[in-house]
A and B are shown apart, each in its own frame.
Chain A
Amino acid sequence: QQQVKQSPQSLIVQKGGISIINCAYENTAFDYFPWYQQFPGKGPALLIAIRPDVSEKKEGRFTISFNKSAKQFSLHIMDSQPGDSATYFCAASTGWGGGGNKLTFGTGTQLKVEL
């Protein structure tokens, strides 16, 4: 049973465009929603994270939008650059802070930013 559904599986965006990746979750106990970025041959690295008591969080060109009632959250990458080409994973866990370590991951989105 997949608790975090991610789409699309792959995404091609032109340089300077907006990349949007969506995730939906089922477990209403989830209270921590991070996004991880993974380059080929490397481990995932935390990109940005959000708590459900806010609807949006922005860090540079990366923004998480969160819709608690719809149980959905999304990653927006503004002004996408070729260096953003990577696989992106959404994730969720329970227990904000201590104990919020058992991450349930989405299936990943391969993003390619073309010149």
Chain B
Amino acid sequence: NAGVTQTPKFQVLKTGQSMTLQCAQDMNHEYMSWYRQDPGMGLRLIHYSVGAGITDQGEVPNGYNVSRSTTEDFPLRLLSAAPSQTSVYFCASSYSFLGLAGHNEQFFGPGTRLTVL
């Protein structure tokens, strides 16, 4: 299994440009989510999905869109990039039911480092 994969690894955008961060998982997980990681602020939830066709907002959703057309893929779209969106973005996935270990381990991808000039 490849686990959770993210592309690209690095990206530089100009203010106002749009782009899509890709996320895919091959573990048949129902739950997928996007976090952003900023220095001194930990990871903050942007959007999440509990299954194909179902998405919802997290803590910091403004400026981002998501869709979930398949179980495997959960792309994050930046509509009009702003310098405040400079961050490292992580995608994560997990089962939605109680796992054998008694918890829902979230598996994180390697991240996309985004710089908006």
- Chain B interface size, as a band, is 20 to 34
B98 within 8 A of A: yes
Q: Verify if B33 is at the interface (C-beta below 8 Å from A).
A: yes
Could you say which residues of chain A place their CB within 8 Å of the CB of B40? 9, 107-108
Find chain B residues with CB under 8 A from A43 CB.
4, 90, 92, 108-111
**0/1 string, A35-75, CB within 8 A of B gives 1:** 01000011111100101000000000000000000000000
- Judge if B48 is at the interface, Cβ distance under 8 Å: yes
Given A97-B97, A98-B96, A44:B48 Cβ within 8 A: no
Chain A residues with Cβ under 8 A from B45's Cβ? 102-104
Q: A98-B98, A101-B31, A102-B58 are in contact. Are A46 and B106 (CB under 8 A)?
A: yes
A87 and B40 CA atoms in complex are apart in Å by 11
Check if A101 sits within 8 Å of B33, measured CB to CB. Answer: yes
Closest-CB distance, A5 to chain B (whole angstroms): 10
Q: Which residues of A contact B (CB under 8 A)?
A: 4, 6, 9, 32, 34, 36, 41-46, 49, 51, 89, 96-108
B2 at the interface (CB under 8 A from A): no
Q: 1/0 per position for B42-54, CB-CB distance to A under 8 A?
A: 1111001010000
Q: When chains A and B are docked, how far (Å) is the Cα of A46 from the Cα of B104?
A: 10
- Contact between chains at B110 and A42 (CB < 8 Å): yes
Cross-chain contact B105 with A46 (CB below 8 angstroms): yes
| Min distance, Cβ B79 to any Cβ of chain A, angstroms | 23
CB-CB nearest in chain A for B93 = A101
B residues near A103, Cβ cutoff 8 Å: 43, 45, 106
Residues of B within 8 A of A101 (CB): 31, 33, 48, 50, 94, 96, 104, 106
The answer on a CB contact under 8 Å between A34 and B103 is yes
Which of B48-89 touch A at CB < 8 Å? 48, 50, 58-59
Q: Closest chain B residue to A46 by CB distance?
A: B105
CA A61 to CA B26, docked complex, whole Å: 31
